[in-house]
């Protein structure tokens, strides 16, 4: 059974769920054991359920810029996916099909049979997997700067072409070296434990147009969530299952429900090329004056696109 505001295993500090929820008026923390894993999620608002899934290297708190407005119209559930934040970090189960089953089990426990689902980055991959595997439960799907892994990932450059690896990510020849780094088992934990802030600061600067929109406090929240070996191991496991995800996708029929893809200047063209192959009823929105972290850089444009689509 779900229980609000109870997680005795986590010590209290300013970055814990119990403190952070104070920044989300009208929302409460909940925890549920589903599919053999305890998940943390926050819930607020009333109406049609809208399930929101965050990406790497963030947590449920990443929806802070948009959650209050979404909750005015929808019952919003923001879930720390398997391995994220205060959710459990088992040794396996990080393929997107299993992670989608986590969400399905949570919704079954909550007696929710038909939901909108929205995901950013890795969360977008899980949201798409949910829509592929549970179409009967998916009313509408929204993916932001992320899509289910496909064989296109295998074409990513090991070495960046000359002139493309500068202070900001090149939209035409993006060099995402961490996609390879996160494949390595064991070493990232040794390098990054207690030092994750350095990776975060570099990443936000590289993939955002204006990284000042990611506040010092938000950076500290995420660094706190990823500073320990288990959290780094679990987050990297989302990447280490991409080959299984690609293989699983080969059996999926195209999505029939309405799908909205929202892309930043980095991802829009790639989403425009890839999503039409897997979604029959597709809308695409480019927010080209934003980098990868769209909620922080352009929350008003995100809300406009999402709320217009969900009507």
For 56, residues 6+ apart whose C-beta sits below 8 A from its C-beta are 121, 122, 235, 238
Token representation of residue 9: 């295993």
Residue with token string 């070296």:
177
Tell me the CA distances in angstroms from 189 to 182, 242, 267, one per residue in order.
10, 20, 28
Q: d(Cα 190, Cα 206) in Å, to the nearest integer? A: 23
Instruction: Quote the CA–CA distance of 48 and 112 in Å, as a whole number.
Output: 10
pLDDT digits (tens, 9 = 90+) for 230-261: 999 999 999 999 999 999 999 999 999 999 99
Q: Which residue has the higher pLDDT, 146 or 183?
A: 183
- pLDDT bin (cut points 50, 70, 90) of residue 228 is very high
pLDDT at position 14 over 50: yes
Mean pLDDT of 223-229: 98
What pLDDT does residue 216 have?
98
Fold observed for domain 3-310: Rossmann fold (3.40.50)
Structure confidence at residue 34 (pLDDT): 97
Would you place residue 12 in the very low, low, confident or very high pLDDT band (cuts 50, 70, 90)?
low
> According to the model, what pLDDT value does residue 140 have?
99
Tell me the whole-structure pTM to 2 decimals. 0.95
pLDDT tens column, 112-124? 999 999 999 999 9
pLDDT in tens, 128-177: 999 999 999 999 999 999 899 999 999 999 999 999 999 999 999 999 99
- Contact predicate 263/142, CB 8 Å: no
Query: Measuring CA to CA, which residue among 142, 120, 121, 127 is closest to residue 96?
Result: 127
Query: Residue 136's pLDDT is what?
Result: 98
Sort 87 into a burial class: Cβ within 10 Å, 0-12 / 13-18 / 19+.
buried
- For residue 10, pLDDT beyond 70: no
Strands across the sheet containing 3-4: 3-4, 28-34, 37-44, 75-80, 49-53, 115-120, 138-144, 255-264, 279-287
Mean pLDDT of 218-224: 98
H-state helical runs in the chain: 17-20, 64-71, 96-109, 122-133, 178-181, 187-192, 196-207, 216-226, 229-240, 242-249, 268-274, 294-297, 299-310
Closest CA to 82 of 120, 48, 36: 36
Tell me the C-alpha distance between 145 and 172, whole Å: 15
Q: Taking all residues of the chain, what is their mean pLDDT, rounded to a whole number?
A: 95
Q: At what angle do helices 299-310 and 64-71 cross, to 10 degrees?
A: 30
Phi/psi class of residue 93: alpha, beta or left (left: φ > 0; alpha: ψ in -120 to 50)? Answer: left
Q: pLDDT band for position 61 (50/70/90)?
A: very high
Q: What backbone torsions phi and psi does residue 4 show, to the nearest 5 degrees?
A: -75, 140
Per-residue pLDDT tens over the stretch 266-290:
999 999 999 999 999 999 999 999 9
pLDDT at res. 166: 97
d(CA 179, CA 176): 6
What residue has token string 């506040």? Answer: 215
Residue 7 pLDDT exceeds 80: no
Instruction: Please name the residues in contact with 79: beta carbons below 8 A apart, sequence gap of 6 or more.
Output: 39, 40, 41, 51, 52, 53, 60, 87, 103, 106
Q: Which residue has the higher pLDDT, 8 or 71?
A: 71
pLDDT of residue 11: 46
């Amino acid at each position: 059974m779900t229980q609000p505001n109870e997680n005795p295993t986590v010590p209290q500090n300013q970055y814990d769920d119990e403190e952070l929820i104070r920044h989300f008026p009208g929302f409460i923390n909940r925890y549920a054991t589903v599919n053999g894993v305890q998940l943390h999620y926050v819930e607020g608002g009333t109406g049609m359920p809208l399930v929101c899934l965050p990406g790497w290297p963030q947590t449920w708190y990443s929806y802070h810029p948009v959650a209050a407005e979404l909750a005015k119209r929808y019952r919003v559930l923001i879930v720390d996916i398997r391995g994220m934040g205060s959710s459990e970090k088992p040794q396996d189960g990080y393929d997107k099909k299993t992670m989608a089953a986590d969400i399905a089990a949570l919704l079954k426990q909550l007696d929710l049979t038909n939901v909108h689902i929205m995901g950013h980055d890795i969360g977008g991959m899980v949201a798409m997997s949910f829509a592929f595997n549970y179409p009967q439960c998916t009313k509408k799907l929204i993916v932001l700067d992320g899509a289910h892994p496909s064989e296109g990932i295998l074409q990513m450059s090991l070495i960046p072409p000359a002139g493309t690896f500068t202070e900001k990510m090149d939209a035409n020849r993006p060099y995402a070296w961490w996609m390879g780094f996160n494949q390595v088992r064991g070493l990232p934990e040794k390098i990054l434990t207690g030092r994750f802030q350095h990776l975060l600061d570099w990443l936000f600067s590289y993939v955002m147009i204006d990284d000042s929109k990611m506040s010092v406090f938000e950076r500290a929240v995420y660094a706190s969530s990823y500073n320990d070996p288990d959290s780094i191991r679990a987050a990297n496991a989302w990447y280490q299952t991409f080959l299984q995800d690609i293989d699983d996708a080969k059996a999926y029929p195209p999505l029939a429900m309405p799908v909205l893809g929202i892309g930043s200047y980095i991802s829009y063209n790639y989403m425009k090329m890839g999503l039409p192959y897997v979604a029959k009823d597709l809308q695409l929105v480019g927010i080209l004056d934003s980098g990868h972290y769209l909620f922080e850089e352009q929350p008003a444009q995100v809300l406009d696109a999402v709320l217009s689509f969900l009507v």
